[in-house]
A and B are shown apart, each in its own frame.
Chain A
Amino acid sequence: EAEVAQSPRYKITEKSQAVAFWCDPISGHATLYWYRQILGQGPELLVQFQDESVVDDSQLPKDRFSAERLKGVDSTLKIQPAELGDSAMYLCASSSTRGITDTQYFGPGTRLTVL
């Protein structure tokens, strides 16, 4: 069964460093999402892609976060510089069609710790 892949699974970095996370959605899924989940909270949508285009990045802190999906397949989320408050689980999800209410398939997540 196809799954969303993410790497790395864990990342420890010092504040002010740059970090990057990678996501490979289920093959053929046009829509890709990045979520941030702070400990004790539910997932918070950061950015949504439809193919290679950003549909919604209103919750993305654009001064330090960036996301791209150049060929409309895999995606990278970058933080530069990382801050202590960025420590969280970063989840990627994909769905087959446009529409945030379509079933989203989640990856295992990347747990980021900023020291």
Chain B
Amino acid sequence: AQRVTQPEKLLSVFKGAPVELKCNYSYSGSPELFWYVQYSRQRLQLLLRHISRESIKGFTADLNKGETSFHLKKPFAQEEDSAMYYCALYMNRDDKIIFGKGTRLHILP
């Protein structure tokens, strides 16, 4: 069955340390992967998508089809990175998008 797995509900990282938020997916077709973020008291918003291969706010994510992963990384965490992060999978065969359960990132001072 198609699914998106974010194994960590909470990730605490010290400011200045590297960040890696894990996302694994299960889908037999050609996937498109996204990361969405929700800062405290703000709306859910798109952070980045794999097809853009861009860096947003210092975050990058590479689609690894062999490992079926799309981990979100940042070399040096900042306090303003504290937020809820959701990985999402678009399944082109079904024209549907599914979200993971999310990981709360807490940057420690």
Contacts and interface: CB of A to CB of B under 8 A. Distances in A.
A100 B4 CA distance: 17
A21 B9 CA distance: 29
Interface stretch (A12-20, A38-46, A61-69, A72-80): A38-46
A91 interface: yes
B57 interface: no
A106 interface: yes
B46 interface: yes
A97 to B, nearest CB: 14
Interface in B64-109: 86, 88, 90, 95-102
A103 B97 CA distance: 12
Interface residues of B, number: 20
Contact of B96 (A4, A56, A93, A104): A56
B96 A44 contact: no
Interface in B37-52: 43-46, 49
B44 A106 contact: yes
A5 to B, nearest CB: 11
Contacts of A4: 43
Interface of A: 3-4, 40-45, 56, 91, 93, 100-101, 103-109
Q: 4 closest Cβ contacts across the A-B interface?
A: A42-B99, A106-B44, A106-B43, A101-B90
Interface of B: 4, 9, 32, 34, 43-46, 49, 86, 88, 90, 95-102
